[in-house]
Amino acid sequence: MSSLRVRYQTIEFGEVDIHVRTLRDNQEFDDTGGAAAQLGISSASWPLFGIVWDSGKVLAHHMFDYEIRGKRILEVGCGIGLASLLLSHRQADITATDYHPEAGHFLEENVRLNEGEDIPFVRTGWADENVDLGLFDLIIGSDVLYEREHVALLSEFIDQHAQPHCEVVIVDPGRGHHAPFSKKMIQLGYRHSQHQPEAADYLSQPFRGQIIEYLRQ
């Protein structure tokens, strides 16, 4: 029997409530079948997908009134999938991806909690080849640049799945890798801008990171 402990939260976006089942804390671990170990996910990093982090809240709030009409949207490294759940509530065409073998199960349960439409989910890593996702008009992610090697992997993954005209929104908490990532994105034909979130009073402490937006036309 699993000893995994979870908690239930309601996150407010104006008058919109998004309900999520998350891990109780970042000390949880249950890789009974060994699926995570086979993917190289350590016991220390195993629970990181299942927490609502500040970066994820910033991304979801940024998506609350973002222009989405007619856009096919991809969330990379979705974790608990807060932004995808919010976009699904807005009836967006959203597909979620994550490397963690449990992310899809948690997303499915959270869709059920919100009585929403199914959100397509693909478990994939950025280095995986022959990923049949198609092309997207908007690609989003939060706290996805936590290792130096992710600069090349993520930029190439994005380029592989981006329409010729594509917007990219990355929320970075300030881990120090966004500058080389932006340089790589510029090489791929994007221009970029960055700013701090406005009125982030939904966070318990000031957010010191950036919302970085890329555009290729």
**Per-residue pLDDT tens over the stretch 62-118:** 999 999 999 999 999 999 999 999 999 999 999 999 999 999 999 999 999 999 999
What CATH number corresponds to the domain at position 10?
A: 3.40.50.150
Domain-located, residue 41: yes
The total number of structural domains in the chain stands at 1
* % of the chain beyond a pLDDT of 90: 95
| φ and ψ of 75, to 5 deg | -100, 125
Pull the structure tokens for residue 98. 């994550």
Q: What is the pLDDT of residue 106?
A: 98
Q: Could you tell me the residue range of the domain that residue 114 belongs to?
A: 6-27+34-216
Pull the structure tokens for residue 196. 């701090």
Domain-located, residue 68: yes
Q: Which residues make Cβ contacts (< 8 Å) with residue 111, sequence separation at least 6?
A: 85, 88, 117, 118, 119
Domain-located, residue 17: yes
Q: Check whether 11 has a pLDDT greater than 70.
A: yes
Q: What is the pLDDT of residue 196?
A: 95
Q: What is the pLDDT of residue 1?
A: 43
- What mean pLDDT, rounded, does the chain reach? 96
* % of the chain beyond a pLDDT of 70: 99
Residue 43 confidence class, pLDDT cut points 50, 70, 90 = very high
Q: What is the pLDDT of residue 88?
A: 98
Q: What is the pLDDT of residue 2?
A: 63
Q: Check whether 172 has a pLDDT greater than 60.
A: yes
Domain-located, residue 144: yes
Asked whether the beta carbons of 49 and 103 are under 8 A apart, the reply is yes
The mean pLDDT value for 183-209 works out to 95
Euclidean distance between CA atoms 9 and 18, whole angstroms? 8
Domain-located, residue 79: yes
Integer angstrom CA distances of residue 161 from 79, 134, 154, 188: 19, 6, 11, 13
Q: Check whether 131 has a pLDDT greater than 90.
A: no
Domain-located, residue 1: no
